[in-house]
Amino acid sequence: MTSLADQGLAQLGGRSSVLSRQKRDHVRLDELLEQLSRAPAADQKRVLLRIYRLVFPHAFAEESVLWPTIRRVLPDGEPLTLQVEREHQEINELVMRLESLAPGSTDWDVALTQVVALLRQDVRDEEDVLLPRLQRKLTPGQLRRLGFTWEAVRRVAPTRAHPFVARRPPGNVLSALPLSIIDRVRDVLDALAYRGGRADVGALSTLSDALGRAAHVLERTPGLGAGEHPSTRRRSGTRWLGVAMIALVAGSAAMVAVRRRRLAAEAATAAGR
Ligand SMILES: [Fe+2]
Ligand SMILES: [Fe+2]
């Protein structure tokens, strides 16, 4: 079995094969990780945002398109894909942790080192084991068709860490549309905030952070964890928090509506006197 790293374009099935598309992204990730290793603490968040935009849609499309195919065609597809799903879950949890840490702090450096090591490990597991195994099962035509489907999903997938949603269908697929909209609005806000290479810690970043927190609440909506393997479930015990938040917002809105109606009635009574 030959690693994708040691195969040329023709062996991988041409430019549109899912294997070539995977390898191109992995090479790009390697370049960005090199940039990150040279970046001063003040610039690390900016480079990380570029890494998130690459790796999270990439991984989402793996989890919703590629790994289910591997589970279908390989007898040991379940343990093989579960290992990579666990790596993805750990990366999602560490990135969520980074969101609450200050760049340059000891905790930030520890979490960042773990994220980088896991990203590199994930690429090796895919290029050396998982994808060559898939390659032996599919024809070049099937690899190209899988490549088009994977690419189509990747282009509309969420671009940030979402550790509370399932790493498998149907939960992750159900979460895709609302989370992708929030993430892509955040991408625009962050791009504006970091315009000109400087971090603007003003209203745009604050709004983006608030949207990020809202996304983590939304992730806990029941149903978005459907299909999850127990070992990749984030053990927060707060999966019902999403429902509680929705109930709280709906309850508050109802109270405001009742209060406004009462005030209007009082005003009408006063006017009639
Ligand atoms: Fe990959
Ligand atoms: Fe991956």
pLDDT band at 252 (very low <50, low <70, confident <90, very high): very low
Measured in Å, residue 84 CA sits from the centre of ligand 1 at 10
Whether the predicted pLDDT of 88 surpasses 90: yes
Predicted confidence at residue 196, as pLDDT, reads 59
* Interatomic CA distance for residues 82 and 76, integer angstroms: 10
Measured in Å, residue 122 CA sits from the centre of ligand 2 at 5
Phi, psi of 237, deg, nearest 5? 65, 15
| Least confident piece of the model among 153-162, 199-208, 250-259 | 250-259
pTM of the predicted model, to two decimals?
0.83
* Mean pLDDT (the chain, rounded): 89
* Average pLDDT estimate for 109-136: 98
Sorted by where each begins, the domain ranges of the chain are 4-239, 241-273
Residues 206/131, Cβ–Cβ less than 8 Å = no
Measured in Å, residue 254 CA sits from the centre of ligand 1 at 46
Residues 146/20, Cβ–Cβ less than 8 Å = no
Measured in Å, residue 42 CA sits from the centre of ligand 2 at 27
Compute the 3-state secondary structure of the chain and give helix, strand, coil in percent, each to the nearest 5: 75, 0, 25
pLDDT band at 231 (very low <50, low <70, confident <90, very high): confident
